[in-house]
């Protein structure tokens, strides 16, 4: 199924350079500094239950497409908010196989075919006719030692894998991994949305727990900030090198201390209005940047997704069910308070992501091409695709250069897609560089250096790995 | 003038696949589910008067370009609001020929050259030197039976052609077509802007007429809605399978019934303010979606055009004179009320269009790649062009796939451009697929299936034809 | 370092056409109707002091990239607001050479390599190893007569070079150039931001000086407008053919005279609020368009840059230090008042620029493809790059055509980059046309005409040169 020249330019001159470049990065280790895999897998190292539970049910890229074409989430065995889940895994697999044509032209198709062929040795395209055979082969392999999480981690040549974790998390699985003596590096990432976003379900209880865990007095803003500092320190002691922030907008603020203190009081009262909550989040981004200056954790911001857009589906199935929809995201004005305060500080590394590609040339590349603290994260989510990655390079490079970017993030909860995703990213970088060389915009010798930087050097530096 | 490989990729590998794909769709019937041709042509089947009246004066793409370079609308014989129109058709044609170079690089040029060569056998590029010869040859042909509207319809292999019609229209020409025994399918489309948009010229009189025609009491919101239901039913009985809505924004609302009722009262009073009119339109989109759930008419939304931007020109020449200018259009927040109510309903097909390409990756593809009711219409108006179509496929496919799109619309009032426009669309789809195959992102065998779907299957399904 | 086919498409068919087209425009004269070179250079014709002062310190593209990667402005010898500047030029050059890899993939790299090779005969890529040799060779050449400003002007085949000047400027250097008998055409451009934008440093003093210089009573709006008319006339007498306006937004207004008069009173009082200042600027754009109708000066508008985004850096180093960041820019609604008043007037030429590429297909091409007065300026600033230029042609041409554009602007204060910048623009136009011909969207014979128009004819016409 997989051609060795896939994703390279059709033009033979550019393709030939791309292929040469790719040969030098194909086998480099995978560095995955941002993602959503479950640390429990590596702590317990149990076999994955079945093909459907491994490949379909955790992957919102897959079930959102099926849903858009009239396949119900129930029939796919997506668990409902009340925990019910009835579909037979093999039946779900058959539905998937029958609808596999829907993924034509999508990155999901590239990722899946890669996993089918390279991890399971399956080479005929998935179809209703071979659905059961696929299922059986995958199920059988999953029971072998080679398909346990740690074995796959090693087989994938993962040098480091970061998870995403709540500040309230005890990181018990990360501890267990460390304690086990296994050498795989699985690092936590500090993601404090649940104690910063007042609209988050259970927000006030979360703050209470934050106080309880840290022994800080969260009744004051200072105590609240100290509690966060405390948890950052704990995460750092567990290997974390980064934080992550998922906000609705990129708004930042730089309030004077007494205003911030009284705003925190309003938030804590539970009677705050949406505008206050927004400013609080804005202020907290700047506070978090200040803490990153102190403790050196690289800061990531992922704004612009309107979560749970489909009300009926959210009520029945809960969050992360493919119904998060992007909206226009402003950076230039919104980031000014934070950047005016910390953007020139060499101790800060602040990585920006976007779901709004219009910001690449207009805002993100000009910002990252100026502020020493700023770097551009790779194309995210809906833009994590061949065309999306190519647009990112075409639109960001001329103003930000290559060296204000940070390599690839797979950002996935689909463990088996990790090698495929990194492979796509490497191929597209090679395709872009291949065209640049073929058009004499970059010397071939330099392209070999750049592709190493894009694959391993920039990510190591930006995430301090 | 026309190379057989036009619009295919320059690269030979991709071109070769594109050409093979195109050979399988070139001669498929034309399905035109959205456009602005005049049903009277097919009812009366009279000869078109002259080349200028057929090819130039109805085509705002042509006269807007000429106007932008200083050619007055008077000199082109564009009728003024008071009905005056003095230019000699042959003189207009000469002006057009003299300025034909202005269309270099535009889709208008592609459409015209196609019609000149394929419909009139003209193969030297139009120029001042051959303007009169062109005029004479076209004029002569227009008098032959082969160039009557019905004969062209058949020669173009049009399987179905939808017009766009006011709810107040008696559809007399559609009736006459049916009554004539001619087998051409010319279907009406229900376009109720004139009775929904309170800024529409004659809006209140239109509502009155709506009541008179249907016998409903338009003094109440319920009666008004019933009147609309009544007309939808009538259109459906005349063969309509779709509605169309041209709003300034994509705003939708889901007001409670009493609020909606009292808002309607304000609108009907003639004293409503612009914000009320906007919310009323927003509410009516949701009402129309509800009626589509009931009666099965596919719903189309074309938002984002600021009509009659050029005040002086509007005062003198009236609407649709090339002075409609797009503006940024938001979908994610605006459509949420409607989609939360009906977006999961399998009975609804809701097709979105845009003049704002920034919404493809950011909003439209994520929405269509999730909601079962949603589909993406083809690139519209200024984006109905080779580059525009290619950007649509490049930007929408990776998230929405091919199967949440609906094939091509020509959307034209220039009847002779229909084959050319569909040909351009087919070629660009083949070019896109050719590149995907050459880059090993899609199997060639699958591309043959996809191109059939893009050309005839998806449009038949979406518009229930 | 420079391949003769650089920037042409990799595909051989398209490349071959591009190369043939380029051969016909490579040696045409340079027409530079908009830029920021210093007229003093040509008046005094002194040698440039050293490589660093010529090539690095005036070029914000260079030092913003270095700054973004942690190189301080002090170490680059960028003068501080208090005038201090301590870095040794050769040391700065070494820092630059060491960091030259940061410019990979950027237009800066293309411009510099061109100057190094074609103007200084340097053919090994700049690196730490040859930094001193580079410095010495350049420094030596700068002392020769061939590298004096006037000699370079002639060697570059500059037909006309426009500077950008304050209305308060006496244009003494322009006078001196004229008086010297040297035949080089160096023309002023009327840029009145400092007397129109009430946020401009020293605004009220500027208005006072405007009154003093012209003898008009700037205490009234009429007197203020007459003072501007007076200075426009003076600029015109000195050879100016254009004005330029750098506003935060594209907002225009058409206030009735008494409202405008009283708004001017508020502005003059020094107590105006930001919203009043914005409306005043909006009104003044329309006034300026009216004056252009009267006096025939071509009008340019460059909106959308948020100046001095980095507060700390601005406080220390002042303006124009690489910290201007674009933001989303609306044209359709904002320009309506001005265009409704003057957009149909054949005496006005109004050239629009943007930093927001999303406006190309959505707003700018539709506007320019309709209004007779409007033309589209070339890709500006961050978009003045190979990819940026290509996107402009791909996105603007299908709706606006080639003939509503105005050729290239180099817009630079880096004198030695002028030939390189025009060369890049010519190559990209040839690349675009080469692809169009290879895809049979334009006849080759026509492409030869178009490329002449894009290189010299359109700019001469739009700027009345």
**Chain B residues with CB inside 8 Å of A356's CB?**
358, 362
State the residue for tokens 């179809």. A127
Our CA-based measurement puts residue A126 at a distance from the nearest CA of chain C, in whole angstroms, of: 35
Q: What is the predicted pLDDT for the residue at A1?
A: 84
In a domain, A446, yes or no: yes
Q: What is the predicted pLDDT for the residue at B93?
A: 98
Mutual orientation of helices A418-438 and A107-114 as an angle, nearest 10°? Answer: 120
- Do residues B89 and B198 share a domain? no
**Chain A residues with CB inside 8 Å of C125's CB?**
443
Cα–Cα distance for residue pair A285/A193, rounded to 1 Å: 10
Provide the percentage of residues in chain C whose pLDDT is more than 70: 100
Q: What is the predicted pLDDT for the residue at A322?
A: 86
Measured on CA atoms in the order A369, A374, A379, A383, is the torsion positive or negative? negative
In a domain, B99, yes or no: yes
**What's the CATH code of the domain at B414?**
3.20.20.140
Query: Looking at the partner chain, which of C3, C105, C309 has a beta carbon nearest the beta carbon of A332?
Result: C309
SS3 B298: strand
CA distances from A12 to A42, B235, C67 (A): 43, 55, 38
- Do residues C138 and C219 share a domain? no
pTM for this predicted structure: 0.98
Q: How confident is the model at residue B130 (pLDDT cuts 50, 70, 90)?
A: very high
Identify any residues that bridge with A162 across adjacent strands, giving them in sequence order. Answer: A187
The CA radius of gyration of chain B, in Å to the nearest whole number, is 22
In a domain, C433, yes or no: yes
Mutual orientation of helices C257-269 and C274-295 as an angle, nearest 10°? Answer: 120
Domain region containing B309 = 12-48+157-462
- Do residues C23 and C52 share a domain? no
pLDDT tens profile C135-153:
999 999 999 999 999 999 9
Query: Looking at the partner chain, which of A363, A372, A401 has a beta carbon nearest the beta carbon of C102?
Result: A401
In a domain, B403, yes or no: yes
SS3 A105: coil
Q: Comparing C-alpha atoms, which of C272, C333, C27, C312 is closest to residue C155?
A: C27
**Chain A residues with CB inside 8 Å of B366's CB?**
324-326, 382
Q: What is the predicted pLDDT for the residue at C338?
A: 98
In a domain, C3, yes or no: no
Find chains touching chain C: ≥3 CB pairs under 8 Å.
Answer: A, B
**Chain B residues with CB inside 8 Å of A125's CB?**
443
pLDDT tens profile A232-278:
999 999 999 999 999 999 999 999 999 999 999 999 999 999 999 99
Reply yes or no on whether the pLDDT at B291 is more than 90: yes
Query: Looking at the partner chain, which of A346, A361, A398 has a beta carbon nearest the beta carbon of C105?
Result: A398
pLDDT tens profile C358-391:
999 999 999 999 999 999 999 999 999 999 999 9
- Residues 6+ positions from B201 with CB-CB distance below 8 Å: none
**Inter-chain contacts counted by CB atoms under 8 A, chains A and C:** 128
The answer to whether the CB atoms of B70 and C372 lie below 8 A apart is yes
CA distances from C158 to C34, C143, C150, C242, C456 (A): 13, 21, 10, 18, 12
Q: Where are the beta strands (DSSP E) in C353-401?
A: 374-376
Our CA-based measurement puts residue A307 at a distance from the nearest CA of chain B, in whole angstroms, of: 11
Q: What is the predicted pLDDT for the residue at A105?
A: 98
Reply yes or no on whether the pLDDT at B322 is more than 90: no
pLDDT tens profile B53-92:
999 999 999 999 999 999 999 999 999 999 999 899 999 9
- Do residues C306 and C451 share a domain? yes
In a domain, B4, yes or no: no
Could you tell me the strand order of the sheet in which A186-187 lies? A30-32, A158-162, A186-187
Q: How confident is the model at residue B295 (pLDDT cuts 50, 70, 90)?
A: very high
- Do residues A111 and A163 share a domain? no
pLDDT tens profile A151-201:
999 999 999 999 999 999 999 999 999 999 999 999 999 999 999 999 998
- Do residues A42 and A53 share a domain? no
Of C146, C174, C206, which one is at a domain's C-terminal end? C146
pLDDT tens profile B326-383:
999 999 999 999 999 999 999 999 999 999 999 999 999 999 999 999 999 999 999 9
Q: Per-residue pLDDT for chain C (465 aa), expressed as one digit of tens each? A: 899 999 999 999 999 999 999 999 999 999 999 999 999 999 999 999 999 999 999 999 999 999 999 999 999 999 999 999 989 999 999 999 999 999 999 999 999 999 999 999 999 999 999 999 999 999 999 999 999 999 999 999 999 999 999 999 999 999 999 999 999 999 999 999 999 999 998 999 999 999 999 999 999 999 999 999 999 999 999 999 999 999 999 999 999 999 999 999 999 999 999 999 999 999 999 999 999 999 999 999 999 999 999 999 999 999 888 899 999 999 999 999 999 999 999 999 999 999 999 999 999 999 999 999 999 999 999 999 999 999 999 999 999 999 999 999 999 999 999 999 999 999 999 999 999 999 999 999 999 999 999 999 999 999 999
**What's the CATH code of the domain at B69?**
1.10.2020.10
Query: Looking at the partner chain, which of A106, A327, A385 has a beta carbon nearest the beta carbon of B332?
Result: A327
**What tokens were used for C172?**
């003494």
Q: Comparing C-alpha atoms, which of C279, C245, C462, C241 is closest to residue C353?
A: C245
Of B101, B125, B147, which one is at a domain's C-terminal end? B147
- Do residues B37 and B113 share a domain? no
Give chain C's domain count.
2
Its ipTM equals 0.97
C390, closest residue in chain B (CA to CA)? B387
Average pLDDT of the residues in B236-252: 97
Residue of C105, C112, C382 to mutate when probing chain A, most A C-beta within 10 A = C105
C182: burial class by Cβ within 10 Å (0-12, 13-18, 19+)? middle
Of B102, B127, B147, which one is at a domain's C-terminal end? B147
The answer to whether the CB atoms of C106 and A401 lie below 8 A apart is yes
Contact C357, C383 (CB under 8 A): yes
Reply yes or no on whether the pLDDT at A19 is more than 90: yes
Q: What is the predicted pLDDT for the residue at C440?
A: 98
Cα–Cα distance for residue pair A341/A289, rounded to 1 Å: 9
Of C1 and A79, the one with more pLDDT: A79
Q: What is the mean pLDDT of chain A?
A: 97
What does residue A243 show for φ and ψ, rounded to 5 degrees?
-115, 165
- Do residues A86 and A23 share a domain? no
- Do residues A245 and A381 share a domain? yes
Q: How confident is the model at residue B124 (pLDDT cuts 50, 70, 90)?
A: very high
Residue of C309, C362, C381, C394 to mutate when probing chain A, most A C-beta within 10 A = C309
Q: What is the predicted pLDDT for the residue at A320?
A: 87
What does residue C272 show for φ and ψ, rounded to 5 degrees?
-70, 150
Q: What is the predicted pLDDT for the residue at B319?
A: 87
**Chain A residues with CB inside 8 Å of C7's CB?**
439-441
SS3 B269: helix
In a domain, B5, yes or no: no
- Do residues C341 and C258 share a domain? yes
Residue of B366, B436, B451 to mutate when probing chain A, most A C-beta within 10 A = B366
- Do residues A141 and A216 share a domain? no
In a domain, A1, yes or no: no
Our CA-based measurement puts residue C235 at a distance from the nearest CA of chain B, in whole angstroms, of: 28
The answer to whether the CB atoms of A358 and C355 lie below 8 A apart is no
Query: Could you write out the DSSP letters of every residue in A174-224?
Result: HHHHHHHT----EE--B-GGGGT-TTSTTHHHHHHHHHHHHT--TTSHHHH
**What tokens were used for C198?**
């009430």
Residue of A252, A345, A349, A370 to mutate when probing chain C, most C C-beta within 10 A = A370
- Do residues C28 and C53 share a domain? no
């Amino acid at each position: 199924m997989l051609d060795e020249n896939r994703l390279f330019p059709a033009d033979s001159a550019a393709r030939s350079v791309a292929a040469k470049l790719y040969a030098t990065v194909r086998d480099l280790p995978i560095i995955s500094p941002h993602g959503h895999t479950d640390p429990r897998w590596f702590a317990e190292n149990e076999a994955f239950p079945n093909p459907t539970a491994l490949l379909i049910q955790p992957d919102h890229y897959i079930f959102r497409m099926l849903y858009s074409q009239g396949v119900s989430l129930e029939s796919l065995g997506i668990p409902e908010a009340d925990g019910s889940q009835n579909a037979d895994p093999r039946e779900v697999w058959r539905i998937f196989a029958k609808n596999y044509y829907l993924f034509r032209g999508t990155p999901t198709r590239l990722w899946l075919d890669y996993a089918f062929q390279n991890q399971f040795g399956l080479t005929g395209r998935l179809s209703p006719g071979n659905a059961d055979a696929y299922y059986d082969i995958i199920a059988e392999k999953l029971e072998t030692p080679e398909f346990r999480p740690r074995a796959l981690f090693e087989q994938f040549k993962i040098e480091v894998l970061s998870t995403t974790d709540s500040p309230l998390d005890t990181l018990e699985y990360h501890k267990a991994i460390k304690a086990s003596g296994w050498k795989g590096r699985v690092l936590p990432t500090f993601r404090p949305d649940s104690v910063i976003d007042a609209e988050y379900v259970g927000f006030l209880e979360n703050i209470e727990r934050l106080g309880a865990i840290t022994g800080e007095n969260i009744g004051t803003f200072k105590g609240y900030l100290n509690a966060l500092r405390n948890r950052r320190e704990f995460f750092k002691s567990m290997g974390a090198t980064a934080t992550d922030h998922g906000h609705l907008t990129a708004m930042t603020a730089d309030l004077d201390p007494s205003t911030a203190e009284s705003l925190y009081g309003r938030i804590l009262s539970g009677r705050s209005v949406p505008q206050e909550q927004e400013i609080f989040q804005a202020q907290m981004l700047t506070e978090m940047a200040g803490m990153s200056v102190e403790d050196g954790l690289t800061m990531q911001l992922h704004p612009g997704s309107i979560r749970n857009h489909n009300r009926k589906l959210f009520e029945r199935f809960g969050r992360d069910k493919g119904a998060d929809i992007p909206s226009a995201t402003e950076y230039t004005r919104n980031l000014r308070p934070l950047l005016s305060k910390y953007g020139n500080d060499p101790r800060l590394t602040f990585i920006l992501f976007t779901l709004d590609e219009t910001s690449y040339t207009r805002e993100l590349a000009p910002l990252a091409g100026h502020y020493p603290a700023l770097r551009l994260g790779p194309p995210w989510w809906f833009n994590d695709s061949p065309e999306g990655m190519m647009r990112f390079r075409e639109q960001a490079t001329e103003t930000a250069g290559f060296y204000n970017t940070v390599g690839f993030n797979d950002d996935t909860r689909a463990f088996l897609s990790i090698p495929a995703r990194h492979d796509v990213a490497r191929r597209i970088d090679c395709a872009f560089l291949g065209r640049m060389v073929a058009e004499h915009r970059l010397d071939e010798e330099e392209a070999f250096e750049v592709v190493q930087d894009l694959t391993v050097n920039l990510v190591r530096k930006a995430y301090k790995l």
